[in-house]
Structures are given as structure tokens and as C-alpha cells.
Chains A and B, each alone.
Chain A
Amino acid sequence: DAGVTQSPTHLIKTRGQHVTLRCSPISGHKSVSWYQQVLGQGPQFIFQYYEKEERGRGNFPDRFSARQFPNYSSELNVNALLLGDSALYLCASSAGTLNTEAFFGQGTRLTVV
């Protein structure tokens, strides 16, 4: 089975632009979460979706939004990009119950110039 897949792997955007990042969870997993990891720090929780509904939101501005599709894949959207949005964006999937293991994708490296 394929693991968690994210696309694109790398992306360069200009300040003020919009970006969409994509994530496909492991087959059968219904929960997808998004994290932002700035260089030298641990990942920070952005969103969690389960069964296509938002179940959790971290401390990020409204410029960040996400959605989950009927096939459980997910998109993370960031509007009006700032230099500080440059980071590795990670997607994690799990079966969805409280005590299941989280599996991460390889991430999307976003650079804002």
C-alpha cells in the first residue's frame, strides 16, 4: 500500500500569492491533519479533518484554510503569502480513532520570496 503522499514536493511562490497543497492519506484512513514545520522547530498543528469535517484548528490566521474530499484526500490553502509562511508543510493520516498511529507524508517545502 502507498503511504501518505503529498504534492508538490517543492514550491516557490511570491509574497501575496496563493498556494494549494495536496495530500492523499493511506487507503482506508479517514483522518487527515496538517502541520507547519519551520526550520529548526517541531511541527505546529494547523488543521485536522475527519470524515470531511473540520475537527480541530491550531493557532493560525484565517489566511490558512483546508478541506477534505469524499475520497478523504485533502487540500491546504494559504492566501496572501508572507515570507514567514516559508516552511515544510506536513500531512498526517490515521484511521481516525483516538488511539491510532499517525503516519506522515514527506512534506511540501514552500519557499516564499
Chain B
Amino acid sequence: KQEVTQIPAALSVPEGENLVLNCSFTDSAIYNLQWFRQDPGKGLTSLLLIQSSQREQTSGRLNASLDKSSGRSTLYIAASQPGDSATYLCAVRTGGYQKVTFGTGTKLQVIP
């Protein structure tokens, strides 16, 4: 059974800092890993999708890496802004199609 863990559970940083969010998974036989952002009471917004054959993906100030063999992914956020405040979730796909296992998330607060 796939288990996904995210550390830390919560993070508070001053505006402008670079930060790293961590995601680990127990079964390395994944198809892909996706990072999402969730604002309070809202749905999920897709940030980055990394296929199992890829090492990293970049979008703007966001960079996600994947080390499948060690069961780890990191989301790097450069020059954080108050608007980045949200919960960040990672999700791994195993077993085909859309069977996705989520982590419990990291709640980020960026202080102006």
C-alpha cells in the first residue's frame, strides 16, 4: 500500500525567502507525481506534474524534483510571496489511471 508523507506539516517564513517542501512515498513504482496547491475550503490547483522518467519540472518560481529510487520529491519555491500562502499537497499515481495517493499537505504561511 502506497503511503505519502509530507514534512513539515506547517511552515511560516518571511516574504522573499526561498523554501523547500518535502514529499516522500513508500512504493517507488509510480507513474508520476503531481504537486497541488489548495486554498482554504477550495479545490486543488495543479502546480507541476513530473513523470516517472523525469528528474525535475519548472514553472516560474516553482521547481519540483523527483528521486524515484529513494521515494522522494521536493518542491522549491523561490522568492516567496504572501500570495503563496496555502496548503501544498503532493500526490503519486500508482496502479494506473487516476488512482492517486495524496500526502497530508504542508500548510505554508508567508509573512509580509
Contact = CB atoms under 8 A, between A and B. Distances in A.
A96 B96 CA distance: 10
Grouping DSSP codes into helix (H, G, I), strand (E, B) and loop, the B interface class, with mixed when no group exceeds half, is strand
Given A98-B93, A99-B51, A104-B36, A45 B44 contact: no
A107 B42 contact: yes
Contacts of B46: 101-104
Contacts of B28: none
Grouping DSSP codes into helix (H, G, I), strand (E, B) and loop, the A interface class, with mixed when no group exceeds half, is strand
Interface in B18-53: 31-32, 34, 36, 41-46, 49, 51
A88 B41 contact: yes
B59 interface: no
A107 to B, nearest CB: 5
A56 B96 CA distance: 9
Contact of A42 (B31, B42, B99, B104): B104
A90 interface: yes
A35 B4 CA distance: 16
A33 B43 contact: no
A92 B103 contact: no
B34 A101 contact: yes
B98 A92 contact: yes
A111 interface: no
Interface residues of B, number: 27
A45 B96 contact: no
Considering residues B36, B89, B100, which has the most beta carbons from chain A within 10 angstroms of its beta carbon? B100
B99 A56 contact: yes
Nearest to A93: B98
Contacts of B100: 33, 45, 92, 102
A94 interface: yes
Contacts of B93: 98
Given A90-B44, A99-B51, A101-B46, A33 B104 contact: no
Contacts of B83: none
Given A48-B98, A90-B44, A92-B100, 6 more contacts: A31-B98, A56-B99, A94-B98, A98-B93, A101-B34, A104-B46
